[in-house]
Amino acid sequence: MLKKLSFPALFFMFLQHFCLAQNAASYQNYDFIAGDKIIFSDDFAKDKDGEFPSHWKLEGGQGVINIQNNEKFFSVLKYYTIISPRMKSPTYLPSNYTIEFDYYLDAKYDGNPGVILSFRNGDEVAILTPGSIQIDFSYPGGNLSGDNPSDIKGESFYDKWHHIALAFKNNQLKVYINQHRVLTVPECNFKATSLAIKGNASEGMNMFFKNFRLAEGGDMNLIDKALTEGKFVTSAITFEVNKAGLKNESMGILNEVTKFMKANPTVKFEVDGYTDSDGDDAANLTLSQKRANAVKDQLVSMGIETTRLSAKGFGETKPVGDNTTSEGRAQNRRVEFLKMP
């Protein structure tokens, strides 16, 4: 006998599918794909509230970790705050790479752009400034900017989290805010070797960032491996902390998977979900299955026949990275697409 669902359960299912459809619609042109080899990743999971994060170096100013809604973020507290990733080598940026992070700026600020990225190569520096009106990129030999779209411009920019993503490939730089590509630098003749985050905070005003990830690659042809190697692996599909809800920035790779499957109508995929080793083994297995289901459901909502997809969760089994490091855990939180006969 079929079990009758309660109204709250039905409403939750409707809301979940509605949100997925909304994401697909607003992110249908989003083409950012995160690199597949994670170089540095920090969600501050192992850091304590009120302390300086262990994976960063403080070069100036002051800042600490804070917690809100069960998520940790770095709070910039002083003017001239500069922090940089703790890396084994002083030169660690590869030829092609992607960077992602979320940041927040208080509406009390007037003209302050919030956190900025500083790219370094010896004494030469390039600065990326994602402000409330536009994104500016100043580098040796040039200075370009791109206007923010109207929905996040001016006063609409403040008091909310924004996702910043950038891809540097073949000497070209692309910068995104949320689902919008805001700036393209066709020829950036500056090869950075390291980076830092800067922020000029005023007392009593909020300036935050979180979920910082640097990865090598960002190849849109990654999916083609499914035809030659039988599968492809991606860390570009991300989820809410300890939940199966897809983050909006996952839509870049999901758009490409959808295009690929529509262009190759005989291809079928098994969607395999994996987690890191944090938490209970059984809970991780359940979570990975829910995440694999969420990916499958999203692809179906984007027009892929459900008969061409299956979903399996493998929990924390088969790790590909070191679970004792932030980068290794991030690499293990992955989705694999296995080509089915």
pLDDT tens-place string over residues 236-273: 999 998 899 999 999 999 999 999 999 999 999 999 99
Q: Tell me: pLDDT of 24 over 70.
A: no
Contact 31, 60 (CB under 8 A): no
Question: Mean pLDDT, to the nearest integer, of 215-227?
Answer: 86
pTM, whole model, 2 decimals? 0.91
> What amino acid occupies position 298?
Q
| Region for residue 303 given its phi and psi (left: phi exceeds 0; alpha: psi -120 to 50; beta: otherwise) | left
Q: How confident is the model at residue 205 (pLDDT cuts 50, 70, 90)?
A: very high
Quote the pLDDT of residue 3. 38
Q: Pick from 265, 258, 259, 271: which is nearest to 232 by CA?
A: 271
Beta-ladder partners of 104 = 161, 208
Quote the pLDDT of residue 16. 47
Collapsing DSSP to helix, strand or coil, 22 comes out as: helix
Q: Alpha-carbon distance 94 to 192, whole Å?
A: 9
Contact 237, 253 (CB under 8 A): yes
Question: Mean pLDDT, to the nearest integer, of 178-197?
Answer: 96
Give percent above pLDDT 70 in the chain: 93
Q: Pick from 153, 75, 175: which is nearest to 115 by CA?
A: 75
Architecture of domain 37-216: Sandwich (2.60)
Q: Tell me: pLDDT of 9 over 70.
A: no
Collapsing DSSP to helix, strand or coil, 319 comes out as: coil
Contact 274, 315 (CB under 8 A): yes
> What amino acid occupies position 197?
I
Q: Alpha-carbon distance 32 to 175, whole Å?
A: 9
Beta-ladder partners of 83 = 58, 197
Q: How confident is the model at residue 7 (pLDDT cuts 50, 70, 90)?
A: very low
Contact 215, 164 (CB under 8 A): no
CATH superfamily placement of domain 14-30+220-340? OmpA-like domain (3.30.1330.60)
Collect all residues with Cβ–Cβ distance below 8 Å to 120 and sequence separation of at least 6: 192, 193, 194, 195, 196
Question: Mean pLDDT, to the nearest integer, of 293-318?
Answer: 97
Contact 213, 100 (CB under 8 A): yes
- What are the boundaries of each domain within the chain? 14-30+220-340, 37-216
